[in-house]
């Protein structure tokens, strides 16, 4: 098998054959004509499980107030093809792959599905070579940025509900929201909502709608309480 450049994971493999296998697409192995060449599909299978487990571990430890449904949605955003493609692109994985001639000609080196699968294979190889810790260290920055981006897009948590669940544990505590400012032209207003705890202003949030402003005020309160 020809030697390849290894992707920039920051991890030094003790067994270089493992990562070499992780970079071998099935199309290359199929064109090996009897040579002992193993493709990356088994490592991909392993890496998928490692990725999902570490994503779940990260979310469980860092988003204690998220319900199971929100955690499931958030994990899906961290392990999907698009997320893996971004990681693969960041480390230059496409340039390192061993592809068959047909896959090469058809643009496989930059195809998201090919890169995402190979990324999982690299994670599997890293796990076999060094255990969970190097994989965890490599993935954590991507988990941090990916979860923040998913939450920013409002695809996940209802912050007002999450805050209410915390506050209602103490029946003496009451929260309410008031729109305290609206600026900009009529077709493009920005609203400011103030969150009051027992009639005392606690946090503020802004948004392009009153609902968004209230959600951001609730999010700020959760951050203030150390819940996000």
Distance (Å, whole) CA 80 – CA 184? 38
pLDDT in tens, 118-130: 999 999 999 999 9
Encode 161-198: b = buried (16+ Cβ within 10 Å), e = exposed.
ebbeeebeeeeeeebebeeeeeeeeeeeeebbbbbbee
pLDDT in tens, 140-191: 999 999 998 887 765 556 788 878 878 888 878 899 999 999 999 988 899 9
Q: Which residues are part of the catalytic machinery?
A: 48, 120
């Amino acid at each position: 098998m020809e030697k390849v450049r290894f992707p920039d994971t920051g991890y030094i493999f003790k067994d270089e054959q493992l990562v070499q296998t992780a970079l071998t697409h099935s199309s290359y192995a199929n064109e090996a004509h009897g040579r002992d060449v193993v493709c990356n599909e088994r490592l991909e299978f392993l890496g998928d499980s490692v990725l999902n487990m570490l994503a779940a571990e990260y979310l469980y430890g860092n988003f204690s107030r998220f319900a199971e449904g929100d955690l499931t949605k958030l994990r899906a955003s961290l392990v999907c093809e698009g997320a893996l493609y971004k990681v693969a692109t960041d480390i230059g994985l496409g340039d390192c792959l061993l592809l068959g001639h047909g896959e090469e000609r058809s643009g496989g080196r930059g195809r998201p599905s090919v890169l995402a699968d190979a990324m999982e294979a690299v994670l599997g190889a890293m796990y076999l070579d060094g255990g969970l810790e190097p994989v965890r260290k490599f993935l954590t920055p991507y988990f941090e940025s990916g979860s923040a981006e998913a939450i920013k897009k409002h695809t996940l948590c209802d912050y007002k509900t999450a805050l209410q669940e915390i506050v209602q544990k103490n029946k003496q505590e009451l929260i309410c929201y008031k729109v305290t400012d609206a600026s900009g032209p009529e077709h493009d207003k920005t609203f400011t909502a103030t969150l009051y705890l027992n009639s005392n202003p606690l946090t503020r949030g802004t948004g392009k709608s009153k609902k968004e402003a209230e959600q951001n005020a609730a999010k700020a309160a959760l951050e203030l309480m150390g819940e996000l």
